[in-house]
Structures are given as structure tokens and as C-alpha cells.
Amino acid sequence: MRRRKLVLAIAAMAVVFAACQKNDFNSDKDEISELGVQLKALNTSFSLPVNTTKSAAVSMDSISWDSVQMVVSTIKFEAELKSLSTGRDSIEVEYKWYGPLLVDLLDTNLTLGNFVLSPAIYDEIELKVSGKKEDAGDEPVFYLSGTYKSSTGSWPIAVEVWDDLSFKTEKENVEVTEEGIDITSEIQIYLDELMLDVDPEDLENARLSDGVILISSKVNRSIYETIFGNLKRDCHAEYKHWNDWYKKWDKKKKHDHGDDD
């Protein structure tokens, strides 16, 4: 069967686009399914050291992050489509969302991309979120700020990443029917894991910039290299299916149990 590749560009925050495809993949306009991307920073407060290779020692050191931001330049979606009727690969699709957009990773309500999905079986879904230093201007590509506390006191702390950064996730066999089911891919960044193998003593002895423990490629570089290495590896993804019935049921469940996910 002939294969086609669709490349669609979306301006920042635009959420609707259309593509001409074979009848097997046409959907009713009232039953559109979408795939959105959420970037979430988790575990904002934790004790130090964060270390999986050594026995944990009793420590009064801790970090609490209150600001987490990333400049998102592009989101790229790629997948192989299998027809619901034949079950065979027939179309390779590639969608792109373009920013740049400064994203608050503590905002749990912000969804990017919103790629329209026609009914099909989506195999080998790949999502790549990229931040480019050329798009960041005067802002870091990735930024953390908060408070570091130890037995001797507390100091403001900030991490600035001015280098290109990307996160990539993969998922197999996601079926989209004609029921208008939306899918959300959550790319989760565990902030405590970013400090894996960072010695609290290094933070205690870190160079201050205007009273702030600034960690970047130019200041406190050895700490930065550890954190940046962890950042490039620390990426978890979850895919959630949403439809109108599930949203109502899930909202009721959270209200009954007091969940605030």
C-alpha cells in the first residue's frame, strides 16, 4: 500500500488543523480526538543528599523549588498509522507545533500541541519537546529557583540552563476510535532526581552571586554538569485517555477523595 507522510506546522497556541487522508482515517467533525502535551515538574521539595549509590545519611539539608520554567521551541509528533479496518500500516504522519513559548512547569492546566488525531491505531508514537537557546533570547532555556536550607542557614538558589535541551518519549499501539477520545502525554520531570549525586557540602561551599547560589555553565560549573546530566536523562512519560464520560467520572472521584493530582 502506498505510504504518505504528512508534515503540518502549527503556530504557537493554535489548536486546530486539517489534513486530507484516506477514508479509513476520516473522522466526524463533532467527534474530534486530540493529543496534547503537558510538561510537569514534580517533587518540588525534598531532602539532600539524593543518592542511590550510598547509604542515606541523616541530614538537615533540603531544597524547595518555587519556580520552574522552560522555553519550548517545538513539539514534534511522529507515528505510524494502522487502519482500523485493515490493521496494516498505511500512513506515516509527522506533526509539528512551533513556539517559542515560555512554559511554567508548575502550571498543571497548560496543554500544548493539541494535535488532531483521525481514527486509527497509532503505532510507535514518538514525541519530542525541544528548547533552543536561539529562541530563548535573554531567558535561560530551563530555569529553576527556590531555597536551599542547611544546618547553618538558608540561601536563595537558582539553576540556569542556556544550552539546547530536549525530551523524547515513545509509545506503542494507541487506538483512537470515533468517540472523540482525547489523549494527553505528560512529560514528567522529577526535580529531586535532578539533584542526584549532588553533594550538600558542594552547595554549602558554592560561590554566591549577589547572595544567590547560582548554578550555571559559568558559575559552580561542576554542580551544573551533574544537574544538567541528570536533566537530560530524567524524563518520564504517561499517556492518559480522556472522553466526556471519563472526565465527569474522574472529576467526581477526585472531589469525593480530595485528590489534587
The pLDDT of residue 131 is 97
Report residue 40 as a C-alpha cell. 510537569
What pTM was estimated for this model as a whole?
Answer: 0.76
Domains of the chain, by residue range, sit at 4-253
Task: Give the H or E element holding residue 234.
Answer: none
Helix (H, G, I), strand (E, B) or coil at 114: strand
Q: Could you read off the pLDDT of 135-187 as tens digits, one per residue? A: 999 999 999 999 999 999 999 999 999 999 998 888 777 777 766 677 888 88
Q: Could you read off the pLDDT of 167-178 as tens digits, one per residue? A: 888 877 777 776
- Phi, psi values for residue 206, rounded to 5°: -70, 150
Q: Is the pLDDT of residue 44 over 80?
A: yes
